[in-house]
Amino acid sequence: MVNYVERYAEHAESTEGVVYPDLVVVGAGLFGLTVAQQAVERAGVRVRIIDVRDHIGGNAYSYMDEETGAEIHRYGAHLFHTSNRRVWEYVNRFTEFTGYVHRVYATHDGEVYPLPINLGTINQFFRAHYTPAEARALIEEQAGELAGTDPANLNDKGIQLIGRPLYEAFIKNYTGKQWQTDPAELPASIIRRLPVRFNYDNRYFRDTWEGLPRDGYTAWFERMIDDPRITVSLKTDFFDESQPYSRRALREAGVPVVYTGPVDRYFDYELGDLKWRTVDFKEVRYDEGDHFGCPVMNFSDADVPYTRAIEFKNFNPERREQQNPERTVVWEEYSRFAERGDEPYYPINTEADKALYARYEALAATEPRTVFGGRLGTYQYYDMHQVIDAALTAFDERILPLIAK
């Protein structure tokens, strides 16, 4: 590791004699790293980042698999894309990006189709050669009585957007596995922008820029905080009062804090638990150089228990010469409701959850020297570029005034 990492062999038993930095950042994910980088660059302050994990980067952390030469995304596939020029220019200060363009495929009834649903998917599925206009008319017809309506539940919304046959083939069972809930019981907002394209464009994202960090995610994150004024303490729990960077100690010392952990955990769940979904991964290794021929394969049918499989080697074809041509590694992805202690991935965001978060948000407002940020701190799902944009904005509007000398 680079020289910013400081691991504690033993935690201090008290705060006596501790010289506190100007800012403590709880969580070494993209929000926290961006804030720390901005704090030293723009305010010249000293920053301590603490994280309960043994690595930086949050859920975007990656590492190299020695057997296959694949870069493993420990918490599932992370793909950088943005149309935000400020974010794109910012991240390019710390990494170059490959020319990777994300494309997804789905297996249904023993056949592979391109996603998102596009003219190629439609013509393959119906064994036809529809023009764009003909495909539009077909889907409107197949939406039946739901055409032109605005359904409240996911099942009917899916039918309204892409017609019953395509919805039932590619969305219904996949979504049921993803949420462990009948789609008729899920809100339409989950797929309100379900893409369908009446051309042969199967590029998954439509942002201006996309790619993967050329040297990997971890190298990118290390460069962000490569400054002697930033120190990092890993395997350090903010709620462990035996160490000097605990919630209690920092409150007593009056140190400004940027907190990116779960907002309900910060307040000891006193109002109740916010609900999340999590993901489990099952690793499978194959005696072949390439198993799927693509980075991500969705499995749309109910008889396959996982939602998708990720073949990491295929994210980086430019590294083929450094990869093992005889072995590959695949992670199968299983979705379920999170419990305490699980890794929270996706906020469920029912009306009850939104109301509960609003109450926690009001509590957070009573902590004037703590800024809550990131997915967990604000109970929102963010893509990476959105996290960085939110961090840059939060720094300008809320953090800089706390630390400006």
Task: Supply the Cα-derived Rg of the chain in whole angstroms.
Answer: 23
How far is Cα 106 from Cα 8, in angstroms, rounded to an integer? Answer: 46
State the catalytic residue, choosing from 206, 381, 396, 397: 381
Instruction: Please work out, in degrees rounded to the nearest 5, the angle formed at the alpha carbon of residue 296 by the alpha carbons of 292 and 302.
Output: 90
The answer to whether residue 46 is catalytic is no
User: What's residue 1's pLDDT?
Assistant: 44
Torsion sign, CA atoms 31, 33, 36, 38 = negative
At 72, list the tokens: 């493993």
SS3 12: coil
Go through 227-252 and write b for each residue having 16 or more CB atoms within 10 A of its CB, e for each that does not: bebbbbbbebbbeeeebbbbbebbee
How far is Cα 395 from Cα 405, in angstroms, rounded to an integer? Answer: 15
User: What's residue 45's pLDDT?
Assistant: 97
Q: On the CB side of 95, how many CA atoms lie within 13 Å of its CA?
A: 22
Residues 6+ apart with CB under 8 A from 38: 391, 392, 395, 399, 400
The answer to whether residue 381 is catalytic is yes
The answer to whether residue 333 is catalytic is yes
Q: Can you give the pLDDT of all 405 residues of the chain as single tens digits? A: 444 555 333 334 445 678 899 999 999 999 999 999 999 999 999 999 999 999 999 999 999 999 999 999 999 999 999 999 999 999 999 999 999 999 999 999 999 999 999 999 999 999 999 999 999 999 999 999 998 888 989 999 999 989 999 999 999 999 999 988 888 888 888 876 667 899 999 999 999 999 999 999 999 999 999 999 999 999 999 999 999 999 999 999 999 999 999 999 999 999 999 999 999 999 999 999 999 999 999 999 999 999 999 999 999 999 999 999 999 999 999 999 999 989 999 998 888 999 999 999 999 999 999 999 999 999 999 999 999 999 999 999 999 999 986
How far is Cα 147 from Cα 296, in angstroms, rounded to an integer? Answer: 32
Pairing of strands 328-337, 308-311: antiparallel
- Quickly count: other Cβ atoms within 10 Å of residue 265's Cβ: 17
State the catalytic residue, choosing from 240, 290, 367, 383: 383
Name the DSSP class of 49. Answer: E
Closest CA to 332 of 298, 366, 287: 298
How far is Cα 338 from Cα 335, in angstroms, rounded to an integer? Answer: 9
State the catalytic residue, choosing from 145, 193, 303, 351: 193
The answer to whether residue 150 is catalytic is no
The answer to whether residue 127 is catalytic is no
How far is Cα 249 from Cα 255, in angstroms, rounded to an integer? Answer: 9
Dihedral angle over CA of 123, 127, 128, 129, nearest 10:
60
Name the residue ranges covered by the structural domains of the chain: 4-97+211-271+347-402, 125-190
The answer to whether residue 277 is catalytic is yes
Dihedral angle over CA of 227, 231, 233, 239, nearest 10:
-120
Q: Rounded to an integer, what is the distance from CA 326 to the centroid of its chain?
A: 31
According to CATH, the topology of domain 4-97+211-271+347-402 is: Rossmann fold (3.40.50)
State the catalytic residue, choosing from 46, 247, 277, 375: 277
State the catalytic residue, choosing from 46, 48, 308, 375: 308
Instruction: Please work out, in degrees rounded to the nearest 5, the angle formed at the alpha carbon of residue 376 by the alpha carbons of 371 and 377.
Output: 15
State the catalytic residue, choosing from 65, 222, 333, 389: 333
Name the DSSP class of 397. Answer: I
State the catalytic residue, choosing from 197, 245, 247, 389: 197
SS3 294: coil
Structure-token match 């959105």, residue found: 386
Residue pair 274/263 in contact by the 8 Å Cβ criterion: yes
How far is Cα 329 from Cα 69, in angstroms, rounded to an integer? Answer: 10
Using CA atoms, how far residue 341 sits from 338, 344, 357, in Å, is 8, 9, 19
User: What's residue 351's pLDDT?
Assistant: 86
